[in-house]
Amino acid sequence: MLDAGSDPTPEGKLGVTPVDTLVTASRGMPNISRDAVAFEITARDTETEVEIVVSRASGSARSREIGRLNLAPNASQKFVDEDVPEHERFVSYRVEANGFSAVKTKYIVLEKYGPGIVALGPNSQKCRPFSINKKAKDEKGRTVPRYECDLELTGMGSHHLDLYVAASVELPPKIRGFEIDAEHTELDFQLSSYDENHAVCLIETDEECYFDFSAKLGGKEDAQPFRIHVTALDVPPTGASSEFDRLVLSNRAAARKEQANARVDPVSCRAANLEEWIVDDPEHSYRPLILGPDYLDSWCKPDWEADPIISARELPIDPRPERGPGTAPDEFLTARRRLFDFFKSTQDERSPVASTIKYWEHMRDENFRNALSELLSAYESWLESDFDSAAWSDTVAVHAAQATAGVLESSPYAVLLSPFHPVRLAWQCRAQEILEHALNKERKGCPAASMLNPSAFPDCILLPCRTATGNVDRRPFVAITSSSDYWSVMWSTSAVDRLADTDRRNEVLGTELGIEVDGLASGFSAQQVIRSLDEVSRLVAGRSTLKVGISSDSAGSGSCNDGIDGWCSSQLGKEQDPWAAGGARSLRVTDYREPALQPEQSLIASLTARTDSTVKWFTDDIDSPGNAHDLSIVAHLGTMSQDFGREGIRSAIDPTGLTRWRVRKQLASQNKDFIAESRIGEIPSTVDRNSLSGYMLRCVDIIEQRCRDHFDCYVFAPNMGVLDKVVNHSSYTAVSSSNIDAACFFSPTSKAYMWDYELPSYSRRAGENSGYYLLARESEGMLRAVRSALTILGDPSSVPDESISSMLEEISRRGMPTLKRLTAGGSMSLGEIGMLVALRLLQSDFEHANDRPALLPVRESGQALSFVVPADPFKNQFEDLRVALEKRQGERPDLLVLSLGFQAGEPRNLRITPIEVKARRGTLSAPDRKAALGQAQLFGDFLDRLRKQAAESELWSVAWNSLVATLLDYAFRVYGQLDHFMQQSEWAIQHSAALRALTNGGLAIEIDTKGRLIVIDSTNSSAPADTDRDSFNETIVLSHADAFSLLVGSGETVLNGARNHLLDWNLRPSGMPVEVAPRDPDA
């Protein structure tokens, strides 16, 4: 009775998204716009038209209605207020509708804002806008009304200060800082304008300080004083190896809404010395330098005019070009001198090292940009007129000593391109420019900043080396990843075996030089080892002793030993093991690696003592009989039979020129374990030829195309023999490799299947890329778990074990990370069985001996290629992007359908459709069905927002292209294992063409925001359904019996019915013809 007159609780939610803002609301600050307010209103949870009421208030005044609009179900509409009142604080808006919770949002509109200026910091934790202090005093003690605001920043040191201003505001060229350090120093800081509404300043802060300036407001003659009070929170600085690394770290932290106080801590090394010496002599330092293995004994500043060699050993045959023709053109040297003058002008007395130069600051200067364009243009002309000389510009050749003589070998095994090589310099300038722009101009830190790949431009080079006869031997080199974001390491294709030998590899390249390489693959991280041990110890929880084997077929970096130490310290011993008194858990390690990779005896003794003798560490030979393990860790899975060949595939290059996607092709003509990886790129046709990216990419193109007659691919095979041997002695096998992708493990290995895996996510630093894979050997327990899950759908008693094994193999081959959950039992197992049902409904190509047509054929009439990929392996990328874009995490659909449309053999369209799958013992209720569909729809909305953000930002366009390229690359690699696709010569060509069409802008992408839903429940009959009542059947409901027939029978009736009712279910790109299947009267 008491509640009879109360209003019903609102059930719906309105979405209000600011548009056309300079800054979106954060840290308690309102949205900031120029001269009007605009936001997009959505109302998803409704089936009828909604009347929206918009009210407005200035400051703390009461709201007044200013507009109404009618919103259709599941639609959005833009509301614009161009008559914003004058305000000293902010203007607030209230958006409401019957049955919906009201939404409030605040704005500062600069042209109507009293102070006319808003001060913000990208790392600010709290912001208070300017307000007038009528009692303020000037330096002479006179009362002067002054606008004051407060900022809290993360840590002392350098920070960006953003000033957003009305167009009528006239800012000074500098602001003055007071008490910015312990000596209470006063210092002026330069203000730089991005545009008429945004200026930025790099300031230095102490724990508490303030900054003063005066500005003319609204055309007034007298300048108005302003003061910004800054408080620096005690946040420890994060070490960054370079200015580029700092920008990557800051973008990732901003995207995750974390505090960041990155500070550049340059490493003192010999490469830094070289960088200083290069800047000291712009006239001659472009000339090639040679390093020998004894370079440290001869270390001194080179005489660039005398063909310098830093080694005490003789070089009988100098591979460098002769001095006469090797002289650079005057235009090249003039531009180089102009650029180096900029670098010197910003430093103190010493020449700068590359890692400390703020290229992004220089890129704001039109004179610098012009000089950089002139350098690239001159270098391009030089490459075209005298490639043999230009190819040696700004290089350091690394030579080995001959084994029998005390001289250097005549040809280098590695070539370093210096940070001041025209291509390397242009890459850094462009990379820092877009990183800083996203961080401080767009204020949209991007988690995909680490996708910028400094090691791949150029990706190969053909170096002309002089021989004893005076001829030129053109030697190919390929780029490999190194610890430097500035120096590029190019490795000779004839010296690949040297990479596997740690001592020979690190003879010159190492800590002392400051440029380290890790060979062709890196190993486990400590966290991945801990994850593997946690998972397997959970699976064999009934055993008191966990048996672990460690093997490796190559040397290289990795943290396997650290991971085991960390796990034991947190899980074993009296203090950590709650069951220690009744029967302590223990770990038995059998180490098959070479002694140099094993932990020292003192470390094993320490670990044994810390865990109360529950760890035992043995060494053995991997071929010893009888060694069975619960978990085997392959610390380094290397490659075999490395070679370079020509396969006719090209890498896709992003239009920014800052990242590329190498294409991998399974070689059917050889053992299908062999893979070819593209090493020559194709320049996007959409790049402006007169832009910096255009100049740089043309230089890259000239360099890489010279390699075409020698090779275009790196050919290798993962060492599956080592993996097979390990799998045969273990229930579970963990592998991590930066050189081998997930598709290498999807085919079953000795009845071992992909149990769990995680694709590489956005890493801490640029260029890192390492996934994690856990394989499981087939066991009776697996077969029982699958059979138990099948009993919910039908009677599996007549299903032979071979059919169950076939299902496990199919799941692994499809790249679905479901086996871990499939064998867990209960509703989780049913959910994963439901995934397999959905996959068979959609496509049948991965089934053995079954050529029945499913709803969505992979290849259709040469006009379409359709893939179904799981969303879970990409969860880290999705979550990072979603948090950065929407400030929240969200659920993912189960599947994504990628359908490529072709015209005249070229990919032209891509449609991405999210699909949610639900399997239940009983019937899925209507509200639950609607919520499940909403999960797919919201994900489609997220992808659509991400695509729109990419259109506004270069860094976000890299993120968008990277995400789509990763999905397509994954799909082509997974489907490319199938024999009937592997045998098709055009498969890799279409793979490459799809990625290149994406980067060229020639691929029109459709995001299906309607979503799809596949339900498997206890309904009596299967049928399509329209869950959201929009006159489209986006839902398929399958009965248990029909789902069972798809798994253990032909499922022909179900498939015919689906095709007759749904055709292609609108999964293919718009405008493509639909092939209508013959009508089956029994469907």
pLDDT tens-digit map of 677-711: 899 999 998 888 899 999 999 999 999 999 998 99
Per the model's pLDDT, the better-predicted residue between 638 and 383 turns out to be: 383
| CA distance to 357, 903, 1019, 1045, per residue, from 1081 (Å) | 74, 35, 21, 19
Q: Is the pLDDT of residue 1079 over 50?
A: no
Cβ pair 217, 168 in contact under 8 A:
yes
What's the whole-number mean pLDDT along residues 1030-1045?
94
Q: Token pair of 942, please?
A: 């997220």
What's the whole-number mean pLDDT along residues 435-447?
84
Extended strands (E) in 592-628: 615-619
Greatest C-alpha distance within the chain: 106
Lowest-pLDDT range of 177-181, 381-385, 752-756, 1075-1079: 1075-1079
Give tens-digit pLDDT for 463-479.
999 998 889 999 999 99
Overall size of the chain counted in residues:
1083
Q: Token pair of 711, please?
A: 């090779």
Neighbours of 186 (CB within 10 A): 12
Cβ pair 285, 277 in contact under 8 A:
yes
Name which of 1043, 1073, 1040 is nearest 1058 in CA terms.
1043
Q: What is the mean pLDDT of the chain?
A: 85
Residue 1080 sits at φ, ψ, to 5 deg, of -105, 115
Cross-strand pairs, 95: 54, 103
Residue 888 amino acid letter: R
Whole-number Å distance between alpha carbons of 342 and 354? 13
Beta-carbon contacts of 623 under 8 Å, excluding residues fewer than 6 positions away, are 725
CB-neighbour burial class of residue 273 (10 A; exposed 0-12, middle 13-18, buried 19+): middle
Residue for token pair 């006159």: 1031
The reported pLDDT for the residue numbered 1080 is 46
Q: Determine which helix (DSSP H) or strand (DSSP E) holds 811, and give its type and residue range.
A: helix 801-813
Whole-number Å distance between alpha carbons of 650 and 994? 11
| CA distance to 241, 310, 460, 541, 679, per residue, from 512 (Å) | 15, 15, 26, 47, 30
**Record: fold of 526-636+720-777:** Rossmann fold (3.40.50)
The reported pLDDT for the residue numbered 470 is 83
Q: Is the pLDDT of residue 372 over 80?
A: yes
Q: Tell me the pLDDT band of 235, cut-offs 50, 70 and 90.
A: low
Q: Where are the CATH 3.40.50.150 domain residues in the chain?
A: 526-636+720-777
Residue 642 sits at φ, ψ, to 5 deg, of -65, 135
| CA distance to 203, 712, 925, per residue, from 172 (Å) | 15, 55, 65
CATH architecture of the domain with residue range 117-235: Sandwich (2.60)
Cross-strand pairs, 777: 752
Q: Is the pLDDT of residue 529 over 80?
A: yes
The reported pLDDT for the residue numbered 1078 is 46
The reported pLDDT for the residue numbered 894 is 93
Q: Token pair of 899, please?
A: 């359908």
Name which of 596, 487, 525, 564 is nearest 242 in CA terms.
487
Whole-number Å distance between alpha carbons of 228 and 213? 9
Give tens-digit pLDDT for 928-941.
999 999 999 999 99
State how beta strands 146-154 and 117-120 pair: unpaired
Whole-number Å distance between alpha carbons of 991 and 648? 12
Tell me if residue 581 falls in helix, strand or coil: helix
Neighbours of 47 (CB within 10 A): 10
Q: Token pair of 1079, please?
A: 């009508």
Q: Is the pLDDT of residue 772 over 80?
A: no
Cβ pair 763, 769 in contact under 8 A:
yes
Name which of 633, 602, 615 is nearest 570 in CA terms.
615
Give tens-digit pLDDT for 164-179.
999 999 999 999 999 8
Residue 798 sits at φ, ψ, to 5 deg, of -90, 0
Q: Is the pLDDT of residue 325 over 70?
A: no
Name which of 773, 782, 731, 543 is nearest 629 in CA terms.
731
Whole-number Å distance between alpha carbons of 992 and 253? 33
3-state secondary structure 854-903: CCCCCEECCCEEEEEEECHHHHHHHHHHHHHHHCCCCCCCCEEEEEEEEE
Give tens-digit pLDDT for 475-520.
999 999 888 999 999 999 888 878 767 677 778 998 889 998 865 4
Q: Token pair of 783, please?
A: 């077969």
Tell me if residue 276 falls in helix, strand or coil: helix
Going 232 to 236 to 240 to 241, the CA torsion angle's sign is positive
What's the whole-number mean pLDDT along residues 6-31?
75
Q: Tell me the pLDDT band of 982, cut-offs 50, 70 and 90.
A: low
The reported pLDDT for the residue numbered 1073 is 60
Q: 721-730, 811-820, 1032-1041: which has the highest mean pLDDT?
A: 1032-1041
**Record: fold of 12-112:** Immunoglobulin-like (2.60.40)
Cβ pair 163, 211 in contact under 8 A:
no
Beta-carbon contacts of 1052 under 8 Å, excluding residues fewer than 6 positions away, are 852
Extended strands (E) in 647-718: 651-653, 660-661, 664-666, 675-678, 681-682, 713-718
Beta-carbon contacts of 370 under 8 Å, excluding residues fewer than 6 positions away, are none
The reported pLDDT for the residue numbered 942 is 94
Give tens-digit pLDDT for 257-314.
776 666 777 777 899 999 999 999 999 999 999 999 999 888 888 999 888 999 999 9
∠273-279-283 over CA atoms, to 5°? Answer: 130
Angle between helices 560-571 and 526-539 (to 10 degrees): 50
The reported pLDDT for the residue numbered 595 is 84
The reported pLDDT for the residue numbered 634 is 86
Q: Token pair of 125, please?
A: 């934790």
Cβ pair 532, 631 in contact under 8 A:
yes
Whole-number Å distance between alpha carbons of 344 and 961? 37
The reported pLDDT for the residue numbered 5 is 42
The reported pLDDT for the residue numbered 3 is 40
Give tens-digit pLDDT for 882-936.
988 877 777 889 999 999 999 988 999 999 999 999 999 999 999 999 999 999 9
Whole-number Å distance between alpha carbons of 492 and 642? 12
CB-neighbour burial class of residue 36 (10 A; exposed 0-12, middle 13-18, buried 19+): middle
Cβ pair 464, 457 in contact under 8 A:
no
CB-neighbour burial class of residue 404 (10 A; exposed 0-12, middle 13-18, buried 19+): exposed
The reported pLDDT for the residue numbered 554 is 62
Residue 1049 amino acid letter: G
Give tens-digit pLDDT for 541-582.
878 899 999 988 765 555 788 889 999 999 999 888 887 777
Whole-number Å distance between alpha carbons of 733 and 773? 8
Beta-carbon contacts of 115 under 8 Å, excluding residues fewer than 6 positions away, are 88, 129, 130, 131, 132, 147, 217, 226
Whole-number Å distance between alpha carbons of 499 and 505? 5
Q: Is the pLDDT of residue 118 over 90?
A: yes
Cβ pair 893, 915 in contact under 8 A:
yes
Q: How many Å separate Cα 320 from the centre of its chain?
A: 39
Q: Tell me the pLDDT band of 226, cut-offs 50, 70 and 90.
A: very high
Cβ pair 562, 591 in contact under 8 A:
no
State how beta strands 681-682 and 651-653 pair: parallel
Residue 597 sits at φ, ψ, to 5 deg, of -95, -10
Going 619 to 623 to 627 to 628, the CA torsion angle's sign is positive
Q: 468-472, 537-541, 585-589, 850-854: which has the highest mean pLDDT?
A: 585-589
Neighbours of 290 (CB within 10 A): 22
Residue 47 amino acid letter: E
CB-neighbour burial class of residue 631 (10 A; exposed 0-12, middle 13-18, buried 19+): buried
* pLDDT above 70 as % of the chain: 89
* pLDDT above 90 as % of the chain: 45
Q: Does the bond joining 458 to the residue before it have cis omega, within 30 degrees of 0?
A: yes
Per the model's pLDDT, the better-predicted residue between 1026 and 44 turns out to be: 1026
Cβ pair 451, 435 in contact under 8 A:
no
What's the whole-number mean pLDDT along residues 1027-1050?
92
